[in-house]
Amino acid sequence: MSAYDDAVKLLARRAYSRRAIEERLAAKGHAPGRIDDALTRLAAAGALDDEAYARRYVADQGAARGRERLLAELAARGVPQDVASRALRDRDDAGALARAVRRRLGAPPGKADRGRIARVYNALLSEGFEPGCIASALVPYGFRGDDA
């Protein structure tokens, strides 16, 4: 089977970044020249678009994840840094953080014990949110600077 045909089969199942398709085709043993030809054909047909892939990924996966984590996940999927940054340009980070906090602690105002707040703070850090923003979002729940 040709590199192009293998790439079409991959893209028929789900979206991939250009680098991810390139890596999968190389793993199947296709020659680099054939891979480049297949990628060029797919891009010309509009079937391979890292910008669209990144925007779709952010829309699907970014509801309760921070900017840093999304950037790291997109980089791991082969999306160039500048493309990933553009995909996140219009994103409502404060809204995503508020949803993540509400999911863990319920609607504000609320009071949670210090241990729970510390666990939520650390969980939000691992989701890629900024420490200062997390602290501000947790204040209505009784967060103090020494809770983290």
* Residues of the domain holding 15: 1-48
φ, ψ (nearest 5 deg) of residue 4? -60, -50
The reported pLDDT for the residue numbered 146 is 61
Tell me: do 67 and 33 sit in the same domain. no
Tell me: do 34 and 58 sit in the same domain. no
Give CA–CA dist 50/20, Å, rounded.
10
The reported pLDDT for the residue numbered 103 is 87
Domain with residue 33: its CATH number is 1.10.10.10
Tell me: do 81 and 101 sit in the same domain. no
CA-CA-CA-CA torsion sign (40, 45, 51, 53):
negative
What domain count does the chain have? 3
Tell me: do 39 and 55 sit in the same domain. no
Mean pLDDT, 10 residues at a time, the chain of 148 residues = 90 90 92 92 89 90 85 92 91 86 80 82 90 88 68
The reported pLDDT for the residue numbered 27 is 93
The reported pLDDT for the residue numbered 112 is 72
The reported pLDDT for the residue numbered 145 is 67
Q: For residues 120, 121, 126 and 131, what is the CA-based torsion angle, rounded to 10 degrees?
A: 160
Tell me: do 112 and 84 sit in the same domain. no
Contact status, residue 39 vs residue 18, Cβ threshold 8 Å = yes
Q: The pTM is what?
A: 0.75
